[in-house]
Structure 1
């Protein structure tokens, strides 16, 4: 059986690292990790992964990174530059003869009240227009957001959504589908996967955390405009964070249709060999890190 060369862009993030872990143990797959900095190169080599220099903000690094690649995971940062970065990768991949692109986008909601949903749809359309085999992954809200953004803290759980019920997905599950698509591209050829498998308001999440961790968490209402001002003061990308602010505002007003939609758990199991993660399972697995967030 011939080997399949896979490049993971975003290899150090929560989804990309899961893809690296899953693919690096599979036979007949050569895994390449695109790294902005080669400081962690030895870490990847120890897993049998080949590190390659790839800086999405440096167009000159991209052609060499995609040369000889069969399938690639396209995962960009949380800035408006995702449009420019993605086009650079897609154009270089087309020249290099890459066959298959797995793209990590955002909510598959057909509306574009939230601008970055539209950005991702433009990227998906360009991948298709250039003639690649594609797998578009459209995750809903990551469960990891409660710690990644500091929402869970010693004072309680920040609530930017009022009473809105959200669809949630474990980033590990997104990585599992991405890994399956990269390893078995023919099975996932020209497919769109919407990924969200458990629902809950912020109050529901707080109650579940309290039950599973033996805590008494309160929710902490926060105006999305104040959230936006805070993250901008810390250097976050203004254009992208405006999208997030707008999503919170629309969610809180109940204006995002099907914000609580969930998708086919049986299809997920068929693809990965297991069912997607529930909030209870996520909390059990991440118990130590969640308790640290509350204790800080």
Structure 2
């Protein structure tokens, strides 16, 4: 890397991307460009924006002009594989210096399909010769509130398809903070894979914490993963990806995913901050409960 470091944020309108934008207000010296395939999504942003579509190599090439480092996030579908190949191929041609890739949780030998797809992407980035840092967040705390547009919350009831599995949780804002550190100091974090999960809890334990913090009696209801699959089919969702989600719900409920509750210290080591725990997250979002 030279002293120059212009950073492109892909997925800038997504859950993590929006939080990266918010956190970047604390880093005014960074040269930031936001990428999106939506028309004029950043008209109220202080940052420069460009159009980019992962399915359009010309738009990728244009978006990468004068860019040194990229936060790379792809969509939730099997198309992530081809889209990531498109991006990495063009990035190599464009002589990009570094990619901070947002992947998924799981050990290297995971048999959860969509986690494995992200690991294929990691290896393809590494094989390109581009500098890299991989982020592997565990379960997003924001999914307690709702998953992909669904509202998990009814007054007094918390629902999920995970059975009584204990998961390792991370606040998306902490993922954003970690990403920015890696983007701002790419040579320092080159070649690293950082797993992000900081508080291991079951949904039943989370319901108890919500009860303690709100004074409202919350209980947990474990839903049958078959209901998730039925909804996915009825709504004509992208079923290859949804089948993987369904399979991992079943595996979690049957306690067949090793190290699902493993926690990691990478966030504190890199940011010199303490990560958000479940109780803090609940307190920050009391109005939702």
* Structure 1 segments of 4+ aligned residues over 6 angstroms from their partners: none
CA distance in 2, matches of 1:274, 1:41: 29
Match in the other structure for 2:22? 21
- CA-based RMSD: 1.6
Q: Normalising to structure 2: TM-score of the pair?
A: 0.94
Match in the other structure for 2:198? 197
CA distance in 1, matches of 2:106, 2:189: 17
Match in the other structure for 2:38? 37
Q: How much does 1:22 deviate?
A: 2.4
Q: How much does 1:72 deviate?
A: 0.2
Q: How much does 1:3 deviate?
A: 4.1
Does residue 92 of structure 2 align to residue 94 of structure 1? yes
How is 1:256-275 mapped onto 2 (pairs within 5 angstroms)?
Answer: 256-264=257-265, 267-275=266-274
- Describe the SS at the equivalent of 1:69: coil
Deviates more, 1:186-195 or 1:216-225: 216-225
Q: How much does 1:229 deviate?
A: 1.5
How is 1:1-296 mapped onto 2 (pairs within 5 angstroms)?
Answer: 2-44=3-45, 47=46, 49-149=47-147, 150-154=151-155, 156-264=157-265, 267-288=266-287, 290-291=288-289
What do the CA deviations read for 1:85-133 (whole angstroms, capped 9, x no partner)? 1111111111111110001111132233210111011000000000111
CA distance in 2, matches of 1:122, 1:175: 23
CA distance in 1, matches of 2:282, 2:38: 32
Q: How much does 1:252 deviate?
A: 0.9
CA distance in 2, matches of 1:221, 1:27: 45
CA distance in 2, matches of 1:218, 1:23: 37
CA distance in 2, matches of 1:254, 1:155: 26
CA distance in 1, matches of 2:134, 2:109: 17
CA distance in 1, matches of 2:154, 2:54: 33
CA distance in 2, matches of 1:102, 1:108: 18
Contact 2:6–2:31 (CA<8 Å) still a contact in 1?
Answer: yes
Q: How much does 1:57 deviate?
A: 2.8
Higher helix fraction: Structure 1 or Structure 2? 1
CA distance in 1, matches of 2:129, 2:106: 21
What do the CA deviations read for 1:154-182 (whole angstroms, capped 9, x no partner)? 36111312221111111111111101000
What do the CA deviations read for 1:225-281 (whole angstroms, capped 9, x no partner)? 2112213323432111111111110111111111110011xx422422311110011
CA distance in 2, matches of 1:86, 1:148: 27
Q: Normalising to structure 1: TM-score of the pair?
A: 0.91
CA distance in 1, matches of 2:209, 2:226: 27
CA distance in 2, matches of 1:50, 1:148: 30
CA distance in 2, matches of 1:227, 1:38: 32
CA distance in 1, matches of 2:162, 2:77: 22
What do the CA deviations read for 1:186-233 (whole angstroms, capped 9, x no partner)? 211110001100011110111111111221112222111211221332
CA distance in 1, matches of 2:165, 2:282: 21
Structure 2: stretches of 5+ with no match in the other structure: none
